[in-house]
Structure formats: C-alpha cells, structure tokens
Structure 1
Amino acid sequence: MIEVVYVIRHAFRANWVVNPQTGEYSASMVRTPTGIPTDPPLAAKGVEQSKELAEYLCSLEPPIDRIYSSPFYRCLQTLKPTAERLFKEGKAGGKIRIDRGIGEFFGRADFDHPTPPDVKILNPHFEDLDQNYESIHIPHSKGEFIVELHQRVRNALNHIITALDNDPEQPRAVLLCTHAATMIAAGRVLTGQMPEDPDEDDFQCYTASLSKFVRRSTDPGKSPIGNWDCVVNSETGFLSGGAERGWKFNGEESFIAFPEDPLDGTNSPKL
C-alpha cells in the first residue's frame, strides 16, 4: 500500500491576465509554449527552484515510486529535473501520469475557462508522459466554488491512492505536483481536517515547496481519505530563496455572486 504522499507546488511561474467581464485570457509578456494563455512557463527564478527541488526530491526516504502531475506546463516543467534523474536511474515508474483531478483551481464564472493541454499537446515538450493514463475527475469548464474544488480533489486522490494500493508492484510513495489552491485542498482532504472557514490559513503552499503526508492506518478496509498525518507542511529549507509566494483562500474566488454552497446550502465544504 501507499505509505507516503508527497505534494509539491509548481515553481515560480510567469503570469497571465483575465478580463472578468468578458472571460478573455491573455498571457502577460511571456508567450505560452502550448499556446494556452493560462499555461505559462516557469520564470527564470522558477527554473532555478526546480533544480534545487530536484536535488531534495531525489534524496527523499522513502524514495518516490510514482509521479502524478497537473496537466499545466509549469507543473511538468517543475518536475522535469526530478523525473529525468529518477527515470534515468530506473526509479519512479518511468512515466509521469497527467491527472486533471489535481489541476488548477479557477473560480466559478459565467464563461468557460481555457482547457489545459492534453498529452498530445504536451508530448513535443516533455518526454516520458504516460500515454495511456486517463483523468476521471475533471474540473467544470466554468470553474468551481471552493466546495466543488475540495470534492474534486477528494475524488481524484481517492482514485489515485486506491489504484496505487492495487498496483502489483506495491509502490510505497507517490509524488503529486499541483497548484496553490489544490495543494491546500489536498492537505485538508488527506488529513480530514476541514476548517469551518475555508479561508483559514492552515496548509501552506509556497512555490516549489514540499508537503509530506504519512498514512495512519494500513488497514485495507479503511478509506484512503482522511487517513493521513501531515508531517511536513510546505517545506522550503532546500530553496536558496526560502519560502515565497504563499497563498490562501480569500472568499469564493469566483467571478459571479453566489451566496450559498451550491451542493448543501452551507458555506463550509464537506469532506
């Protein structure tokens, strides 16, 4: 069974802008490699962070046995130095699995947000992507309320961990590369510690940081969700610049007014 879940946030990226009235996105100064305005590459600082992160990730115990990533370019670019080194050594399964269930969070809107790149678009930029892996839990095209984000991440992590628990090679540790809001949601989902106020500053998510979750019980009858202890919360000591670009929820982050939770009539997500 999977015993450890490592979660990292992508490194320091370039920016984009959006017109909240029209829903028109545009890249800010840097052309996106995939042509998708919400899919910028890492900034030069982020590239350096990814190299420092790789040195640390390749020394972890237990070592990384499988790698999953959000489909966005910045996440795969962050993983690149780590994956190249591990795969060259015959470690970590040799492939990165792209899973939209751990992808970016966009607030609910009246317009469609840009669709992230698929494997065919990413193949020219990155080697060793799993061509056969399919995402099951996909964010709504018009974005999500916070409760929907947490439920999407819950479903995605349940699927990932259950699949790895049933992997005949019995991997012990998995690495997930994701984004700020999703990293916070992952911490809450794995530990089962959902605050009454989603804006609470609980799980951190600095750029190129690492969080570590250890399984409490390996009883096969116990749900993989809510069965983890956070033993490392967004560590950045291995980065020369330390903790940078922290983030937290601030209201619904949506583009439209919606006074109540869309699923159960309350303002607090349920795990």
Structure 2
Amino acid sequence: MPTHHQTRICFVRHGETDWNVQKRMQGHTDIPLNAHGVMQAERLAKALLRTGHRFDCIYSSDLERAFHTAKTIAQPHSMEITAHPDLRERHVGKLQGLLLADAPQLEPELWQRHLVRDLDFDLGGGESIVQFHDRMKRMLDHLLMKHTGEQILAVSHGGALDMIYRIVTQQALDAERVAVVPNTSLNWIAHDGNTWSIERWGDTSHLTDSVLDNIEI
C-alpha cells in the first residue's frame, strides 16, 4: 500500500474491440468490447482479486469499451465508478473510423501531418497533440489533488496512456512513440509528493497466467 504521502495510479487500457482487431482508428467513436475483450477484462478482474490489490476509487473513461472494463473490475468490490470524459482517447478528427491501411490513401495530407506529429494540427476537427496533452495533464493533476495518498484505478485508452507515459517521463511530444500499451495491461505510476514516476508499465502477465485457471486437473 502507498505510504501516507505517496499516491499511486494503476492505469488500465480497455479490453479488445473489433475495431482494435481491424486496426481501425476509434478515437471518440463508442465501440463495445468484443467477446475476447470481455474475457480479458474478466481475467484482469480475477488477477487483481488474486493479488489482493485494493483501490480507494475507480475512474473510467465514459466510452463503453473502457466503462465495461471498469465495471468488470469494480463488481467484486461493489465499488462505484466515476466516469470522466478527460480519460477518453484522443479525438482523431477525420481519421476516426478509418483503417490504418486505408488512411494514407483516403487522407494523404492529413495522414502525413499525423505521422510527423504536427503538434498543433487537429486532424480535421479533432484534438491537436498539444490539446490532448493538456487534457491528460489536467486529469492527472485532478486525480493527484483529489486523492493524495490513495491508490487509484483508472481505465483509459492506448493513445491516452501513451500521453500519460510521455508526461511522467517528460518525453517530447513530437518524439516517436516508445510506450507499448496492450489491451487490459496494467500501467502503474506513483507520485512521491514531488514528482511522478513509472513503477511498472505494460504488464500483461495476468493474461497468460490465468489461462491455467481454465484447466481442470
């Protein structure tokens, strides 16, 4: 458990969706979990119970794929979930709904500016990287202020967790992505009263270990 001055957040990426499998850009599009995603969320909930993790509060993006994941985790603890739109994925404007394979042909200029990480470009009605950064930073500050010294679980999205990683490690916003964020991975950060640090990132050990749970011996 955290010491009195340490605040810990376990960020979870939602379970898999059909659009994840198709490599279709979701952004704010409200896509439900697929059957595999539901199973991932259930395995994660079991693993958190088994390892005895206790959370003081549970937050989630208000998009269905995240909220369903959060609900699955919260259920055994009978905990309420605080849905917060600041935990949403980046709004990717005209790229929303496009396959990664098709986007370069359908929106060539837009795609180019997306690739070079043009910081102030809003992708045709979406969020710029700078706006997205400011939103995730605001969320982090909010959680720290409201829940100092507590242990928090927050269910969010791949791009959002990449941004959290950048903020915590002070990685440049226009640098290439280095953080890997698999579906239902656990991503722990801690604040010691002065600064944030990464404790453990991209942990999916529960998805392999718990396969054994299904074997009848």
Quick one: distance in 2 between partners of 1:65 and 1:172? Answer: 6
Matches within 5 A, 1:41-56: 41-56=32-47
Check whether the contact 2:89–2:160 (CA below 8 A) recurs between aligned residues.
yes
Quick one: distance in 2 between partners of 1:95 and 1:153? Answer: 22
Q: What's the counterpart of residue 109 of structure 2? A: none
Which amino acid in 2 is paired with 1:96? Answer: I
Q: What's the counterpart of residue 164 of structure 1? A: 147
Aligned-partner SS, 1:238: helix
Larger RCO of the pair (alpha carbons < 8 Å, separation 6+)? 2
Q: What's the counterpart of residue 69 of structure 2? A: 78
Please report how far the alpha carbon of residue 194 of structure 1 lies from its aligned counterpart in structure 2 after TM superposition: 1.7
Distance 1:196 1:74, change over 3 A: closer
Q: What's the counterpart of residue 237 of structure 1? A: 205
Which amino acid in 2 is paired with 1:4? Answer: R
TM-score by length of 1: 0.58
Check whether the contact 2:169–2:197 (CA below 8 A) recurs between aligned residues.
no
Q: What's the counterpart of residue 194 of structure 1? A: 171
Q: What's the counterpart of residue 208 of structure 1? A: 184
Check whether the contact 2:15–2:38 (CA below 8 A) recurs between aligned residues.
yes
Distance 1:196 1:43, change over 3 A: closer
Check whether the contact 2:67–2:83 (CA below 8 A) recurs between aligned residues.
no
TM-score by length of 2: 0.71
Deviates more, 1:172-181 or 1:77-86: 77-86
Please report how far the alpha carbon of residue 142 of structure 1 lies from its aligned counterpart in structure 2 after TM superposition: 2.9
Is 1:106 aligned to 2:91, yes or no? yes
Task: Write 1 or 2 for the structure with the bigger share of helix.
Answer: 2
Please report how far the alpha carbon of residue 164 of structure 1 lies from its aligned counterpart in structure 2 after TM superposition: 1.6
Which amino acid in 2 is paired with 1:74? Answer: R
Identity %: 24
Quick one: distance in 2 between partners of 1:12 and 1:195? Answer: 28
After superposition, the CA RMSD in angstroms is 3.1
Aligned-partner SS, 2:54: coil
Gaps of 5+ in 2: 98-121, 211-217
Which amino acid in 2 is paired with 1:38? Answer: T
Number of aligned residues: 177
Q: Which runs of 4+ in 1 moved over 6 A?
A: none
Quick one: distance in 2 between partners of 1:238 and 1:156? Answer: 27
Of residues 146, 152, 167 in structure 1, which corresponds to 2:135? 152
Check whether the contact 2:169–2:198 (CA below 8 A) recurs between aligned residues.
no
Is 1:179 aligned to 2:162, yes or no? no
